[in-house]
Amino acid sequence: MADTVIRKRRSGGRSGNTRRHAVSVIEQMPWHIPQNNDRPTEPLDDAGVAAIHDGAMRILEEVGIEFLNDEALAILREAGCTIDGHNVRMGRDFVMEMVAKAPSSFTITPRNPDREVVIGGKSMVFVNVSSPPNYWDLETGKVPGTREQCQNLLKLTQYFNCIHVAGGYPVEPVDVHASVRHLDVLFDKLTLTDKVCHAYSLGKERVEDVMEMVRIAGGLSEEEFEAKPHMYTNINSTSPLKHDIPMLDGWMRCTRRGQAVIVTPFTLAGAMAPVTMAGAVAQSLAEGLCAIALAQYIRPGTPCAFGTFTSNVDMKSGAPAFGTPEYMRATQMSGQMARFYGLPLRASGSCAANVPDGQAMWETSNALWSAVQSGTNLVYHAAGWLEGGLIASPEKFIMDCEVLQHIQRYFDPALTATTPDDIALDAIKSVGAEGHFFGCDHTQERYTTAFYQPFLSDWRNYEGWALDGGVWTAERAHRMFKEIIGSFEPPPMDEAIREELEAFVAKRKEQGGAPTDF
Amino acid sequence: MADTVIRKRRSGGRSGNTRRHAVSVIEQMPWHIPQNNDRPTEPLDDAGVAAIHDGAMRILEEVGIEFLNDEALAILREAGCTIDGHNVRMGRDFVMEMVAKAPSSFTITPRNPDREVVIGGKSMVFVNVSSPPNYWDLETGKVPGTREQCQNLLKLTQYFNCIHVAGGYPVEPVDVHASVRHLDVLFDKLTLTDKVCHAYSLGKERVEDVMEMVRIAGGLSEEEFEAKPHMYTNINSTSPLKHDIPMLDGWMRCTRRGQAVIVTPFTLAGAMAPVTMAGAVAQSLAEGLCAIALAQYIRPGTPCAFGTFTSNVDMKSGAPAFGTPEYMRATQMSGQMARFYGLPLRASGSCAANVPDGQAMWETSNALWSAVQSGTNLVYHAAGWLEGGLIASPEKFIMDCEVLQHIQRYFDPALTATTPDDIALDAIKSVGAEGHFFGCDHTQERYTTAFYQPFLSDWRNYEGWALDGGVWTAERAHRMFKEIIGSFEPPPMDEAIREELEAFVAKRKEQGGAPTDF
C-alpha cells in the first residue's frame, strides 16, 4: 500500500506536470494513446491488394532501386541481391522473408517512461509538425524559422496531452548554424519536453549525437539504450526509386543500435510517381520495403514502420496538394497494404492552405480522418502544418489539437455502449413526454463526463460570441498560444542530467558539430 | 437515332443549363448522385443493435408516444394500438410489420426529370441548408432573413451541381408574412431551381398549396402527381415522445398523395433525450418508427426515410453542439439501425460555429464524414449552415460545396482502381530513377482528369497567394457568391406553366393564404 502511494508520487513527479499547474490555461483531455477499434475503410478487394503487391514486387525485381550508399550496397550484395552500379534488384521471396521479421507493433520509451508510445496494433499516436523552414503567426506573417519559435512550438508539443511524440524540428531554426542546429534543438527538445524524440538522418554526426543525447537524457547506459527503442529516425526516399547516402547511413545506424526506423517515400502522384494512385502506392511500397528489408537483414526484428506520403500535385501548377480525395484513398490503400505486410503505418495531417482558415481545416480534417479510416498508427504533422509543410503555425497547432481531441474522444467506447444504463429506459419513462432530461438523475450522474468538452471551439450563440468581441477561431488560437507560452513550465529533469547534456552540447560545439558544405 | 438526338436536345434544354453559360464562374463537377460503396463504420456489434432495437420497442410498448392529432389517433386505434388520451402504445410486431412495408429505396422526381434523386441504397443526396431564421454574410453580419437573401441562397442551390435537393427555405424570409410565405418561397424555389422541393408540415393549407404548386410546375395531372413522389415533407417530433398536430397532418396528407415522408426526431442528448448516446438513439428511433408505422398503415409502401438528428448539448450552457464525437457516433449507430429496419437514412451537415472559420469547417467535416461513414442517403443542411441552424450563410454554403465535391470525387472508383494501367509498371520503368512523371505518356494521357480540381481551395504557394491579396477562404467565398448571383440564369420554364403558378399564388393570396395566429 505504502509502496503504491510512493510509486504514484514518483510517477506524478515525472509525468504529472499538469497537476502542478493550479490554474491551467485550458482544460484538456489526459494523456492517452487512442485505440482505434473501428474496422478500417478498405477500398481494395483481395485482388486489388494482390495487384498492388505484385506491382511493388515487380518494381523491386525488374526495375530496382538506387542505393547511393556503398555500405548498404555491400550488405545487400552479401544478402544475395542483384547489384548493378547503384541499382539494387531484390526478389520477392527475399523481401517478404525480411519484412516478415519486422514486428507488427513496438514501443518507443522516452526519458519519461510514462510517455512511452506503442507503434502498431490499434494504437494511434500523434506527432507535432516537423521540418517546415518557415513560421507564420497572426502577428509575424510568414518568416524564416528561429530557435525561439522552435522552442515555442516545442512548448506546445509538451503542453498538449494529445501530442504524443516530439518528432522533427517543429520549425527549422535557420538562425542556428546547420553544423550545430541539431545540438541546440535536441537540447531544447529534451529539456522542454519529456516525449519521444526523433533524429534526422542527415549525416552520421547528427544521428549519433542525437542518440547520445537521448541516452544521456534518459539516464541510460549504452546497454540500456540499445535494449529497446528510445527514439527513432524517419527517412524519405528520393522518389522515384532512390535512397540517398545520409538517409541510408542514419537508417543503418539507428537499426544497429536497436532504435526504431520509419521509411516514408514522398510519392507525389503525377510528379515523382505515376499519376494513378495505385501506381503511386505501389512505387511507394517498393521504395519503403527495400529499406525495411535492409534493416531486417542487418538486425532481424528491428522495429520498422512504413510511412505513406502519397498525394497528388495540382496538374495546373505542379504544386503539391494535401488532404485531397486522392490523398484519402491513397492513405486507405496504404493502410490495407501495411496490414498485408504486417507493418505499422505512418501517415500525416496535412494541408495546402497558407493560413489557418476554413480550407486549412477541411484539408486537415480530410487527412486526419483518412488516417483514422486507414488504421494509421503514427500521425506525423498532426498539429501545426500549413502550406504543404513549408510553414509551421502555432494557431494551426492549437486548432489541430482540438480535432485530435475529437479523435481521441471519438474512440472512447463509452460513446457507443449499449448496456441497460445506456439505453436508459427508466430515465425515458421517468421524464415522459412533458419533461426534459437536464434535471433527471440519469443525467445528473453523468453530465460532467458524458460529452466532449472543447477548449477552442466556441459553442456560445452568436450574440454571446459577438458581445465577447466576435473572435474568429484563428485569433482565439493565437491568444491561447500566448497564454500557454506565458505560463509554460518545463517538465522536471534531474539537474545532473541537465548538466551532462549541456556539457555534451558544449563539447560537440567545440568540435565543430556536424560538417556542412558552407 | 434521330429520336435519340431529339431526346438529348430536349434533355439539354431542360437540364443542360450550365452548357448555355459560355463562361461560368467556376469549373465544377457535373450533376451526379454519389454512390457510397464504402463499408459503413459500425461501432455496434449485433448485440448492440439488438439492445437499441429492444430499447426503441420497449419505449413504444411500455411508455408510448403522444400523438396530438385526433385523426392520427383514430387511425392508430383502428390499427389496434393502445390509446390512452393522446398516448399511443404499439406492439413491436405491429411496428415491424408496418416498417417492413416501407421501401428501402425510392425516387423523387422534380419538374426537371433529369434532376430526379434516388433516396436509399448506395445513393448519397445533398440538400441545401434549410430553415435558419437568420442570415449572415461578411457584409451584413447576422440579420433576420429576407426574401432576397432566400432567393440568393436558392440561386446557389441551383447553381451548384453537388446540391441535389432544394429542401426547406434556405433562410426564413421573415419580411414576408407567414400566411403567404410558403407561396412566395415556393414560387421562387420552383422558378429559380428545377430540383426536388419540400413542403413544411405547418398546417394543411401550406402542405396542400405546395403539393399543388409542385404539380403545376411539373405540368402534371392529379394522377401523374400521385403516381410517384415529386416532393416530400420532413417532420420533427417534439422530443421527448411527442408528435404535434400540424406535423402529423402534413405527414398524413403527403402519405395519402403518394409523396415521400421523412421523420427526424431532434433528440439532443442531455436535454430532450437521455444523456447517453445509445439511449438518445433508441428514443429517436421510437419517435421515428411510430410515425413510419402510421404512414405504412395509411398507405402501404409509402416512401419513408428515418432522419437522425441526435447530438448533444454543451453541459455547461445547455446550448446544442454539432459535429461532435458523440454526434458522429450517434450518426453511425443510426445508420446501423436504419439498415436493420431497411429504411433510408437522413443525416445532416451541421456545426455550432457562428462564422465560416476553422471551427465551422472541422465541425462540418466531422458531420459530413460521419454521414459518409454511416451510409447516409440524404444529407440535410449539407451547405450553408451556421450557429446550430440559426444562421444561413452564402460563404459557408460555397465552402461546404467544396467539401461535398471532395466527397463526390472520393467515391469515384477510378481513385482506387488496380488494373495494370493503374499500377503503371511500364511508366515506372520508363521514368526510372532519374526522371519525373510530369512529361511521360502515362501522365499526359490522364492528367486532365486524374485529380480533383478545387474551385475554392487556393493551392498556390504563400507568396503567390499573398501577392494576390492574401485572401482567406471566407472572403474568397464571399467574392464568388457575388459573381454567381450576378451572372445567375434561372433554369428554363414553360411560360404557360409560369403563368399558371403566378395565377395560383395570386388566387391563394386573395384567399388569405394560410391562417396564422397574428
- Chain B, residues 92-131, CB within 8 A of chain A, namely none
pLDDT value of residue B315:
80
To probe the interface with B, which of A61, A400, A428, A436 has the most B CB atoms within 10 Å?
A428
Q: Which residues of B touch A42 (CB under 8 A)?
A: 39
**B408, pLDDT greater than 80:** yes
pLDDT by residue (tens digit) across B345-398? 999 999 999 999 999 999 999 999 999 999 999 999 999 999 999 999 999 999
Query: Which of A271, A412, A428 faces B59 most closely, judged by CB atoms?
Result: A428
pLDDT by residue (tens digit) across A79-120? 999 999 999 999 999 999 999 999 999 999 999 999 999 999
CA angle (B355, B360, B361) in 5-degree steps: 135
- Mean pLDDT in chain B? 94
**A1, pLDDT greater than 50:** no
Give me the DSSP letters along A15-52: HTHHHH-SS-SS--PPP---B--SPPP----HHHHHHH
Share of chain B above pLDDT 70, in %: 95
Q: Which residues of B touch A425 (CB under 8 A)?
A: 55, 58-59, 62-63, 279, 282
The whole-number average pLDDT for the span A418-424 is 98
pLDDT by residue (tens digit) across B71-112? 999 999 999 999 999 999 999 999 999 999 999 999 999 999
Q: Which residues of B touch A366 (CB under 8 A)?
A: 365, 406
Q: Using the beta-carbon criterion (under 8 Å), do A58 and B425 form an inter-chain contact?
A: yes
pLDDT by residue (tens digit) across B193-211? 999 999 999 999 999 999 9
Separation CA A94–CA A79 (nearest Å): 9
The whole-number average pLDDT for the span A13-19 is 42
pLDDT value of residue A23:
54
Chain A: residue nearest B474 by CA? A358
pLDDT value of residue A8:
35
Q: Which residues of B touch A273 (CB under 8 A)?
A: 437
| Residue B457, SS3 per DSSP | coil
Q: Which residues of B touch A38 (CB under 8 A)?
A: 41, 43
To probe the interface with A, which of B29, B359, B449 has the most A CB atoms within 10 Å?
B359
pLDDT value of residue A21:
44
Cell digits of residue B381: 443542411
Q: How many CB pairs under 8 A join A and B?
A: 407
Cell digits of residue B267: 433528440
pLDDT value of residue B316:
83
B409 interfaces chain A, CB cutoff of 8 Å? yes
Q: Using the beta-carbon criterion (under 8 Å), do B276 and A422 form an inter-chain contact?
A: yes
Return the HEC string of A51-97: HHHHHHHHHHHHHCEEECCHHHHHHHHHCCCEEECCEEECCHHHHHH
- Chain B, residues 269-298, CB within 8 A of chain A, namely 269-279, 282-283
Helix (H) or strand (E) holding B365: helix B358-373
- Tell me the nearest-neighbour CA distance from A480 into chain B, angstroms: 15
pLDDT value of residue B517:
73
Q: Using the beta-carbon criterion (under 8 Å), do A365 and B366 form an inter-chain contact?
A: yes
For residue A397, what pLDDT band results from cuts at 50, 70 and 90? very high
Chain B: residue nearest A360 by CA? B358
Cell digits of residue A447: 453530465
Chain B: residue nearest A367 by CA? B365
The whole-number average pLDDT for the span A309-315 is 92
Q: Which residues of A touch B416 (CB under 8 A)?
A: 43-44, 48, 277-278, 329, 332-333
Q: Which amino acid is at A372?
A: V
What residues contact residue B129 under an 8 Å CB cut-off, 6+ apart?
A: B153, B167, B170, B171, B381, B382, B383, B384, B385, B389, B392, B396, B397
For residue A347, what pLDDT band results from cuts at 50, 70 and 90? very high
The whole-number average pLDDT for the span B122-139 is 98
B58 interfaces chain A, CB cutoff of 8 Å? yes
pLDDT value of residue B518:
67
- Tell me the nearest-neighbour CA distance from A34 into chain B, angstroms: 13
Query: Which of A274, A399, A403 faces B428 most closely, judged by CB atoms?
Result: A274
The whole-number average pLDDT for the span A25-44 is 97
Query: Which of A63, A352, A412 faces B429 most closely, judged by CB atoms?
Result: A63
The whole-number average pLDDT for the span B451-459 is 97
Cell digits of residue B387: 450557429
Burial A308-330 (b: 16+ CB within 10 A, else e): bbbbbbbbeeebbbbbbbbbbbb
For residue A518, what pLDDT band results from cuts at 50, 70 and 90? low
The owner of cell 429559380 is: B192
Q: Using the beta-carbon criterion (under 8 Å), do B416 and A278 form an inter-chain contact?
A: yes
Query: Which of A326, A399, A470 faces B451 most closely, judged by CB atoms?
Result: A326
The whole-number average pLDDT for the span B129-140 is 98
- Mean pLDDT in chain A? 94
Query: Which of B270, B359, B415 faces A447 most closely, judged by CB atoms?
Result: B270
To probe the interface with A, which of B41, B357, B400, B447 has the most A CB atoms within 10 Å?
B357
The whole-number average pLDDT for the span B407-421 is 98
Q: Which residues of B touch A443 (CB under 8 A)?
A: 270, 274-275
**B20, pLDDT greater than 50:** no
Q: Which residues of B touch A244 (CB under 8 A)?
A: none
- Chain B, residues 23-52, CB within 8 A of chain A, namely 38-39, 41-44, 47-48, 51-52
- Chain B, residues 184-203, CB within 8 A of chain A, namely none
The whole-number average pLDDT for the span A263-276 is 96
CB-CB contact of B259 with B252 (8 Å): no
- Tell which residue, A266, A235, A238, has the closest CA to residue A252: A235
The whole-number average pLDDT for the span B244-262 is 98
CB-CB contact of A241 with A284 (8 Å): no
The owner of cell 464525437 is: B325
Q: Is the pTM of this model over 0.90?
A: yes
For residue B23, what pLDDT band results from cuts at 50, 70 and 90? low
